Amino acid sequence: MIQLLSGVFVGMALAVCLFFFRFWRKSRERLFALLSLVFALLSVERSVLAFVPGNHESRHWIFLVRLLAFALLIAGIVDKNRRQPRRVAPRPR
């Protein structure tokens, strides 16, 4: 059952990866490229994790791919927010 659910997750993550990749090709927005990369990394991590036995001693190294994916997600959001010019509201007189 774990392999089945992992396969569903991999398929959905790849679909979302292609979805964001299509938006990146249209807009050339870095956030969409990073989101596409994040979901590609998550699909790779889950597909590898599905075939590693639960008691394998080096299994925790696979989770570093997930950590990298979430770090890229946070970096993309921070980058998007820093690039937008801030509008200053006029002071009341």
Q: How far apart are CA 79 and CA 30, in angstroms?
A: 9
CA angle at residue 72 from 82 to 17, to 5 degrees? 110
Burial of 34 (0-12, 13-18, 19+ CB in 10 A): buried
How many CB atoms lie under 10 A from the CB of residue 43?
21
pLDDT in tens, the chain (93 residues): 778 888 999 999 999 999 999 999 999 999 999 999 999 999 999 988 888 877 777 778 888 999 999 999 999 999 999 876 666 667 777
Residue 24 backbone dihedrals phi, psi, to 5 degrees: -65, -40
